[in-house]
Amino acid sequence: MDFTAVLSQLADPALLLTIVLCTLYGALVGALPGLSATMAVALLVPFTFFMDPVPAIAAIVATTSTGIFAGDISGALLRIPGTPASAAYVADSSTIAHAGKPRTVLFVSLFSGAAGGVIGVIALSLAAPMLAGFATSFSSYEMFWLAALGLSCAVFVSDAPPAKTFASLFIGLAIACVGIDVAVGMPRYTFGLYDLYDGVNFISAMIGFFALTELFRAALEPRTPRSEAKSLKMEPLRQAIGDAFKVVCQRWVSVIRSGPLGVFIGVLPGAGSDVAAWIAYAVSRRFSKTPEKYGKGHYEGIVDGGASNNAAVSGAWTPALIFGIPGDSVTAIAIGVLMMKGLNPGPDIFERSGDLVYTLFGAFLLANVAMVFTGAVAILLASQLMRMSKSLLMPLILGLSLIGGFAVMNSAFSIWIIITLGIVGFAMTLGGIPLAPAILGVVLGKVLERNFMTSMIKSQGEFLPFFSRDISLVLGVAAILIWGLCLYRAIRAIIRPDKTPRTMENDA
């Protein structure tokens, strides 16, 4: 590999301008309710037709890096997570934001995400072939247990009563069952509607559960000058940046721990940043000295989740480059762009196009650095938007949410899905049922079912092969131990209910 050639390409002003503009584009699109990083990349693809290979891939990389972070902006300010990964710590971020420190918590997400992204780039460039080889050793057995672990973490980290947390998770799994049966190919729970044959898209589910639910809640809140003033409170920018930098520096161990964990999970095909953030949040709570503060406005979970989230973005490119296996939906689009430019992913890509691959790694690094500045611009614009009156802001959010939902499926039927799930989500909140486990159930439900059915067909109905491989044995035992712990908590809650109400502690 010619490092001089790589550095000269990275120093190209046109490439640097592309990275800066795309990081700003990804931040602005990702911050809008209903518009995800995947959608931002999909909208960018037509423009890559007219670009050279390096700027085209760099544009996708830059858009993805900031688009993933920007999902935290709507999560903190509006309680509407932009991605399923943001839903892992939306309770913490929104609590801190509504306690008077919205800019601080957003800069904490930005700094930890950028740090995690840099760790991901370093790990990707040093160990890509080794990590890719490890990823290919994962069969349907390991992927089933990994999905089961992800679902278990949602129950394990929740502060709601176990029965209500399980109820939320099963609601999400039930929604994931809508569509064509993966084993026999027959439609189920579609009620004769062809639009449901492809199932319920998780973006539509997320908009319905979070955006519409929040709009319903806001519509029923009494309008008082005091409540309006509280929603507009913003701390000074310099103070927010200083406090956020101090928070991330104090929790550098969390970044060092969750960054590599995110890379490891991101490498696994189909896992991506969504699973990485949830598992990192669960691990963070398990090793924290103050686990009781999680979900009530605690920075530690936000740092862990944000670092793991962005590190997984880099990890997802490993199987995409080495084997042409998409690590997530974004890399699936990127593979198409690579092939369009005549660059076929494969084990020998380092030999055929080594300079291009390492230029891509450099673009990742530059994108995470540029994200600090463009993300700050997005935070400032979003915080100014929050100064609008609720009577103007809420219809704007509703319009953006419905447009985003329509764009996902290119069908008006998705709007009905959003409205229906919004009503379901609002009913869940009235009953004290948390929403985040339901979203994770929608995201991982199909992954769990598909790998379970594949494994059962391979094993001819036997369960022992689920534990016959070393990695599947470790993951399986870990999942079963977590299930046992969750069951123990549920039984203890029934036998010895807590007599004292929980206090809403806040370390913001």
Q: What is the pLDDT of residue 346?
A: 64
Q: If 0-12 CB within 10 Å is exposed, 13-18 middle and 19+ buried, where does residue 139 land?
A: middle
Confirm if 65 and 197 have CB atoms less than 8 A apart.
no
Rounded Cα distance between 483 and 84, Å, is: 22
Tell whether the model's pLDDT for residue 500 goes beyond 50. no
Q: Tell me the pLDDT tens digit for each residue of 123-174.
A: 777 776 666 556 566 778 888 887 787 777 666 666 677 778 888 888 988 8
Closest CA to 123 of 2, 266, 295: 266
Q: How confident is the model at residue 296 (pLDDT cuts 50, 70, 90)?
A: confident
Calculate the dihedral angle through the C-alpha atoms of 380, 257, 87, 151, rounding to the nearest 10 degrees: 170
Q: What's the rounded Cα separation, in Å, for the pair 41 and 29?
A: 10
Question: What digits encode the pLDDT tens for the residues 303-317?
Answer: 888 888 888 877 777
CA distances from 60 to 44, 282, 357 (A): 8, 30, 14
Angle, CA of 190, 194 and 198, to the nearest 5° = 75
Confidence class for position 393, pLDDT limits 50, 70, 90: low
**Element containing residue 492 per DSSP (H, E):** helix 470-495
pLDDT > 50? residue 506? no
Tell the residue number behind the tokens 């729970």, with chain if given.
189
Angle, helices 436-458 vs 272-287, to 10°: value is 110
In percent, the amount of the chain with pLDDT more than 90 equals 0
Q: Please state the separation of Cα 297 from the chain's center in Å.
A: 19
Instruction: Write down the pTM of the prediction.
Output: 0.68
Q: Name the pLDDT band for 507 (thresholds 50, 70, 90).
A: very low
Mean pLDDT within 74-99:
80
Radius of gyration, alpha carbons of the chain: 22
Token readout for 207 is 């908009």
- Is 90 a residue whose pLDDT tops 70? yes
Do 446 and 180 touch, CB atoms closer than 8 A? no
CA 29 – CA 39 distance, rounded (Å): 9
SS (H, E, C) 156-211: HCCCCCHHHHHHHHHHHHHHHCCEECCCCCCEECCCCCHHHCCCCCHHHHHHHHHH
For 7-25, what is the mean pLDDT?
83
Average pLDDT rounded to a whole number, residues 320-338: 67
What is the C-alpha separation between 387 and 454, in angstroms, rounded?
Answer: 51
Question: How many Cβ atoms are within 10 Å of 88's Cβ, its own excluded?
Answer: 35
**Residue type for position 11:** A
Mean pLDDT within 469-473: 82
